Structure 1
Amino acid sequence: METAYSDLKTTVKDNTILQLHNICFSYHSLLGETDVLHNISFSVKEGEFIAIVGPSGCGKSTLLNILCGLIKAKEGHRIISDNISIGYMLQHDHLFEWRTIYENVTLGLEIQGKMDKENTDYVLSLLESYGLIDFKDKKPSELSGGMKQRAALIRTLALHPQILLLDEPFSALDYQTRLMVSSDIGSLIRHTNKTAILVTHNLSEAISLADRVLVLSKRPSEIRKDMNIHLTLPDDSLLAYRRAPEFQDYFNEIWELLIDEK
């Protein structure tokens, strides 16, 4: 086991753009040290969609924060390809009420001084694709929850991230809106060959969206299973994915693993 944490940027082979090796993480409180992650290892290839599921409080969001470099692990290695940018879409939209939708989705570009025609045209095309172009001059309070979440996605995509981290981005939405928004985002990720890592408690969502599902144990979390997902699809839609004949078998297998952790 490594005795220290290292964060390396390098050229990784075989289309692998991000790797974690033997990641361990603990946090400290007045009650002492709590182990959260233990020997977490996996790699991410370009264009992969990975979902992470596990019991509540097992450290799924902490793992995303380590993946994007917001926090450092106690032990292990994080290896990321050179010049890889990461976009992080959180649970809540965090749109600023005093800014219009257009001003919100271009905030990252504005901060980085990248408000050129190419980037602003790209943002307008995303607003058009997601049905928000007619609302670009509205304030967030004038939009529905699903529309605000689409705006949050556009804000993330505006900076052209190669890796997209999604921390339960649909959890605040009602069921019908959640299906529609997750379908939209899943289609966009597949059609643009984006690399994505999704944290979710929704097993159906994980199976229907991801190429791989990582099942974590209870704390201190280890990877119980790294499951490749192969669904026989009649057409490219979220509902079609959920009707695939293999879907229920994957669901049952993951559910049994999670039940064992209670």
Structure 2
Amino acid sequence: MDIDQQESFRRDSKDSFMEEYGVYLENAALLFGESPGISEEKAKELGSKLLQDLNINDNFELKKIEKAIYYDKDREWDPYDSGQKPEGVGYTLTYAYPYEGVSVFTYPENVNKYKDLGELVYAPSFESEILKITVTDEGIRMFTWSNMTEKTAVITENSKLLPFDQIQEALKEHLMAVKVSVDDVNSFNPEDHQDSIEVKEVNFCVSHMSAYKNPKAAWLVPVWVFKVETNSYSIIYNTNVNLGTEYVVLNAYDGGYIAPQ
């Protein structure tokens, strides 16, 4: 490749990058800046009416409502999608089924997944059952029903849960296992940095775990859900980096880590 070709390649690459980056900025502005042309309360009303019209009477509860970008075409909605400009902003309502008044926990999308943790890990075949409805000022734009399940049997009742102090010890062991795994994958020297972890939130929920000798099924079990925030201090560069928050889900029976799907 000669000099002229190199310059042309750089210009084309830069133009392509700026075009995609410009779309990303526009999408981000829509998601975090502009207000939808519909109120949250109105969105909730439309969501509830849709469930009634579809005769979904399983008492799904509204778990969260969040702003969402939408497209006219039938495609996966992604705020960072550079392939097509969004048409506007609406709300996505997420519903989950409560069990005995206890909320069902479902991992958010794009979570960290770890391998070779060297601890007790449950890997469910599927996540908890949820409904998602996206609403705009033009009405219902999307409806999805994920992980539709059927209750087949009760394995055990009134089982004794692990004392919470032992759950706390299991949390410490899990966080240490994650640190060792991350350092190993990235070839980090553990003596070069120090991590501090703060538990921001603790909730008692239910969630799915792998069913014994049945990969097509999952068991619904009580869990402790910890939302933790990690900061990493580099001794070499004398800098502190916030690594964000993530969820740690532990089986309330034995403290085993329930990994995202």
Which has the higher Rg, Structure 1 or Structure 2?
2
Q: Which has the higher contact order (CA 8 A, sep 6+)?
A: 1
Greater strand proportion: 2
TM norm structure 2: 0.22
TM norm structure 1: 0.22
Greater helix proportion: 1
